């Protein structure tokens, strides 16, 4: 045990092009990121676990309408919100994932319930909702998740077959799957990711975020990773696990492995996005191949940053 801890969070890769971001909006985003960073850091400062810290940080981001997770999740083709989330503990490789759930205020906490209170790793849709009921979850009214900007994004494409990544060079101001990775003072790491997925998605589309190894992964031996980006590509690239594999089998450092995957491998197949990652030695990295990525970190050394663009 030592006194080193670190926390990294993201609120989605792909941001407003710089000219379209107002100072007021930028301040709003930075405040929300700071609040989530503070919530997670508080856990780590008090010698809490990495698992508790990533959950606390993601809950704050889910509760903010600025990000595409929990409150403010994007609209599906039928005008509902279907949310995905996953959490993983690098200490014992325990994990919980959930997809296609509705009405649950904090999907990340529910994914942890699946990890801790079911015999399974991944639940989806109707069955997941039955489990939520059994766990005593009280569902929010759809109006809780409503956000005007998200609604307009959906209105613009709802009569088409397009589904839209909540990303990139867009005029509208809302982006962002959310995630957190942490190292605690006990030497354990953890990862968490939560999202509403893509605007106008249909047919039970599931992205990378809740899939262990694709959008979320943690292993004390290597790293804890949370991804954001074009989910279909991140699934095909098995991105989070690929970073871990490059470290484990090829001996790359955390930074080298994450850079290789985001700037090279995922790009080659057409994927855009980024990731945040920590290892058990206290290293951290936040690469992305988009114009920006809402992100923040804090280390026990006092080093800290909240940033949006490159």
- 177 touches ligand ASP (CB under 6 A): yes
CB of 266 to ligand ASP, least distance (A): 12
- By beta-carbon proximity to ligand ASP, the closer residue of 48 and 107 is 107
- 207 touches ligand ASP (CB under 6 A): yes
Residue nearest to ligand ASP according to CB distances in the complex: 231
Number of chain positions touching ligand ASP (CB under 6 A): 16
- By beta-carbon proximity to ligand ASP, the closer residue of 177 and 222 is 177
Binding residues for ligand ASP restricted to 18-77, rule: CB under 6 A: 68
Place of tokens 């919530």: 39
Binding mask 111-140 for ligand ASP (x = CB under 6 A): ------------------------------
- By beta-carbon proximity to ligand ASP, the closer residue of 71 and 299 is 71
Q: Identify the residue among 6, 99, 228, 244 touching ligand ASP (CB under 6 A).
A: 228
Burial of 45 by CB count in 10 Å (0-12 exposed, 13-18 middle, 19+ buried)? middle
Q: Identify the residue among 195, 200, 226, 290 touching ligand ASP (CB under 6 A).
A: 195
177 included as an active-site residue: yes
- By beta-carbon proximity to ligand ASP, the closer residue of 5 and 288 is 288
Contacting range for ligand ASP; rule: CB under 6 A; set: 43-51, 91-99, 140-148, 201-209: 201-209
CB of 245 to ligand ASP, least distance (A): 20
CB of 216 to ligand ASP, least distance (A): 10
Binding residues for ligand ASP restricted to 231-250, rule: CB under 6 A: 231, 234
- By beta-carbon proximity to ligand ASP, the closer residue of 49 and 193 is 193
- By beta-carbon proximity to ligand ASP, the closer residue of 208 and 242 is 208
Following DSSP, what letter does each residue of the chain receive, concatenated?
--S--EEEEEEEE----GGG--HHHHHHHHHHHHHHHHHHHHHHHTT--HHHHHHHHHHHHHHSTTSSSSTTPPP-TTS---EEEEEEETTTTEEEEEEEE-S-S-HHHHHHHHHHHSS-SEEEHHHHHHHHHHTTPPPPPHHHH--HHHHHHHHHHTTSS--B-S-SS-SS-----EEEEEE-TTS-EEEEEEE---BT--TT---STTSBTTTEEE-TTS-EEEEEE-HHHHHHTTHHHHHHHHHHHH---HHHHHHIIIIIIHHHTT--EEEEEE-TTS-EE--BSSSEEEEEEEETTS-EEEEEE-
C-beta separation of 178 from 193 below 8 A? yes
- 107 touches ligand ASP (CB under 6 A): no
> Which residues of the shown chain bind ligand ASP in the complex (CB under 6 A)?
12, 68, 166-167, 177, 195, 197-198, 207-209, 215, 228-229, 231, 234
Active site members: 177
């Amino acid at each position: 045990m030592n006194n080193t801890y670190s926390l990294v969070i993201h609120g989605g890769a792909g941001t407003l092009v710089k000219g379209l971001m107002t100072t007021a909006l930028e301040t709003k985003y930075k405040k929300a990121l700071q609040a989530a960073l503070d919530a997670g850091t508080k856990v780590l400062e008090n010698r809490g676990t990495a698992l508790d810290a990533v959950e606390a940080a993601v809950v704050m981001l889910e509760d903010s309408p600025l990000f595409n997770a929990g409150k403010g999740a994007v609209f599906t083709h039928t005008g509902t919100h279907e949310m995905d989330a996953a959490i993983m503990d690098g200490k014992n490789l325990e994990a919980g994932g959930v997809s296609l759930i509705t009405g649950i205020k904090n999907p990340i906490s529910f994914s942890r319930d699946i990890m801790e209170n079911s015999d399974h790793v991944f639940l989806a849709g109707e069955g997941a909702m039955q489990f939520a009921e059994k766990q005593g979850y009280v569902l929010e009214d759809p109006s809780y998740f409503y956000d005007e900007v998200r609604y307009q994004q959906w209105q613009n494409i709802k009569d088409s077959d397009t589904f839209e990544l909540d990303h990139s060079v867009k005029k509208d101001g809302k982006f962002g799957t959310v995630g957190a990775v942490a190292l605690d003072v006990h030497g354990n790491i953890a990862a968490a990711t939560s999202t509403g997925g893509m605007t106008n998605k249909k047919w039970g589309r599931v992205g990378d975020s809740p899939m262990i190894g694709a959008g979320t992964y943690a292993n004390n031996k290597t790293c804890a990773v949370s991804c954001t980006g074009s989910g279909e590509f991140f699934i095909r690239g098995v991105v989070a696990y690929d970073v871990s594999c490059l470290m484990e089998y090829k001996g790359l450092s955390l930074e080298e492995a994450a850079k290789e995957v985001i700037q090279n491998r995922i790009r080659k197949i057409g994927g855009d996005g980024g990731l945040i990652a920590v290892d058990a030695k206290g290293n951290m990295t936040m690469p992305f191949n988009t114009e920006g990525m809402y992100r923040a970190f804090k280390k026990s050394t006092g080093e800290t940053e909240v940033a949006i663009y490159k």
